[in-house]
Amino acid sequence: MNTEFQQESMKTRRINRAVAISAELFLKHGIDSIKMTDIADESGVGVATLYRYFSTKTGIAIAAMTHLWNELNNMFAGVFESKVFLAQSGLKQLSDMMRMYIVLYDAHKDFMKLLGEFDLLMIKEKVPKSKLQEYDQSIINFYRVYDGAVQRGIADGSLREDVDYRLLYLTYCHAMMELTKKFLRGEILPSDSFSEASKELGMFVDIAVEYVRKR
């Protein structure tokens, strides 16, 4: 019985390593250019095992993106759970949390660019929502921080009470995500100029913060 448990544990570690390795490869080279054999070679997990466990490259791409989001969740958790952050007003907490996207854009451009490619892959492959539940949950985890800031802000009087904060969260996240993707795709039109992309993102945060500030 113990031997079976050890074997299963070893298998889980090997699969987790394959997911982590695939995430690194996708970040460096994009999803489209990486083959399952590349992942197998780098991770030491056989191609047959990868196909048996994930079925397709799309399957391991979903696992890899979930892994990357969880890594980011862990990275930001230390900030959002710190005494310094929690001691701030709800408005300031909300502002700091919203600026997370600027941090992602400035420091993790490879990840933000990969998100755009991943979205297109999901559309192209017509992946059902049921296959993306774990991935979706890894993103939604940020809502806990946001909701905590909102509740504090309403209690301390720094935030308006008459705002649909759930709708604001969805609107803000969708808009910021698409803005960062547009900047990372690069300039297309003669009138395009993304040299101050971070400042544009910062202005959008300021607009959102002023909208919810209680006068």
Query: Could you state, in order of their start, the residue ranges of all structural domains in the chain?
Result: 1-55, 70-212
Token representation of residue 159 = 């935030």
Give mean pLDDT, residues 171-194.
Answer: 91
Per-residue pLDDT at 5 exceeds 60: no
Q: DSSP string spanning 6-48?
A: HHHHHHHHHHHHHHHHHHHHHHHH-STT--HHHHHHHH---HH
Per-residue pLDDT at 153 exceeds 90: yes
Q: Please tell me the number of Cα atoms within 13 Å of 176 on its side-chain side.
A: 26
Which region among 8-22, 40-54, 63-77, 191-205 has the lowest average model confidence (pLDDT)?
A: 8-22
> Is 1-55 CATH 1.10.260.40?
no
Per-residue pLDDT at 140 exceeds 80: no
